[in-house]
Structure 1
Amino acid sequence: MVEKAMTVTTYKWTIERYHRAIEAGIFDDQPIELLRGDLIVMPPEREPHAYYNTEAADYLRTLLGERAKIRDAKPITLPNNSEPVPDVAIVKPLGEVYLEHHPYPEDIFWIIEFSKSTLSKDLGDKKDIYAEAGIAEYWVVNLKNSQLQVFRDLKNGQYTTELTLTTGTIVPLAFGDVSVQVNRLVGFPKI
């Protein structure tokens, strides 16, 4: 008797089906995000992550004022059947437009993820998804090593520049007149 190999097929979600499932209450408020059509359960947020995320968002609000909207832990909608929930998304201040849809790539100045337990996902899949979608700049605050990893300069759907910073300042691509103090993001004491 010849055994047949079983093929495993996974169900790929579209943005539209995902939104319908959310509206129907299918996920019971389970913290999930959609990455390339796959549902990803988000891990519980620990205290350091919550602290640095909140402090960074408040700091960026002070730096950017009305020039940008700082959305922390809110979804963004990307064309590759992804609706991730970045820790901080710095977006165009479009007001009530966001009643109709989450920010699209063209609405996003840059994204920041604070990462310890999800570091490999944030430096792998999420970085690739953001680059493919055309997000101009992506920052990962590596809470394991107290460093900021900056990805920018898109070419063919990939970031071509990576910077790793532990001190000093960084100027976001979208705001050439704004200097962000790295120590305000990575947790070093203020000087």
Structure 2
Amino acid sequence: MTVTTYKWTIKRYHQAIEAGIFDDQSIELLRGDLIVMPPEREPHAYYNTEAADYLRTLLGERVKIRDAKPITLPNDSEPAPDVAIVKPLGEVYLEHHPYPEDIFWVIEFSKATLSKDLGEKKDIYAEAGIVEYWVVNLKTPQLKVFRDLKNGEYKTELTLTTGTISPLCFPDVSVQVQRLISKT
């Protein structure tokens, strides 16, 4: 017997959401597969909120910071990154979630989902053309930065525990690594 899995398209996924099929369960769509999101624990919520607030002060009105909100990608994926730094397009987002061309970079805070965030999600973001992807490893406090896209893959990977980093889209902004990975 052959096992066949059902692959979701973005369109069918949105129809199912509209119909209330998922009953407000926390899920995301990755390459046509529905992924149930683990419950968010206190450290994850803390770092996510603090980082989003910090980036809002650094970037101001130049961007819109979206916390755990979906982005729509062409590879039948609609993940909800912990923080998405996107173009401030206002009411356009009433019609659709940000597309890759609307996204400056995304950040995931990761402990339980570290292997997925450093593997499958990194690949999905790169394939979709997200120019920069950051993963805050909450197990061993460090920031992983993926950038320099070429042929759907990130060619540069940085691991930072101190200092500052400037996002590719905002070279005039210095983000203090410690503000993302440390309680203090």
Separation in 2, partners of 1:71, 1:164: 24
Q: Which secondary structure does the structure 2 equivalent of 1:129 belong to?
A: helix
Q: Deviations over 1:43-69 (max 9, x none)?
A: 000000000000000000000000000
Q: Which residue of 1 aligns with 2:153?
A: 158
Q: Residues of 2 paired with 1:110 and 1:18: CA distance?
A: 24
Stretches of structure 1 that go unaligned for 5 or more consecutive residues are: 1-5
What is the match of residue 81 of structure 1? 76
Aligned residues: 184
Asked if 1:53 is matched to 2:48, the reply is yes
Q: 2 CA distance for matches of 1:144 and 1:93?
A: 33
- Counterpart of 1:13, as a letter, is W
1:187 deviates by 1.2
| Distance in 2 separating the partners of 1:79 and 1:108 | 13
Larger radius of gyration: 1
Describe the superposition over 1:77-127 as per-residue Cα deviations: whole angstroms up to 9, x where unpaired. Answer: 000000000000000000000000000000000000000000000000000
2:90 matched to which residue of 1? 95
Paired residue secondary structure (1:96)? helix
Structure 2: gaps of 5 or more residues: none
How far apart, in 2, do the equivalents of 1:138 and 1:168 lie? 18
- 8, 12, 23: which one pairs with 1:28? 23
Identity %: 88
What's the counterpart of residue 3 of structure 1? none
Alignment root-mean-square deviation, CA: 0.5
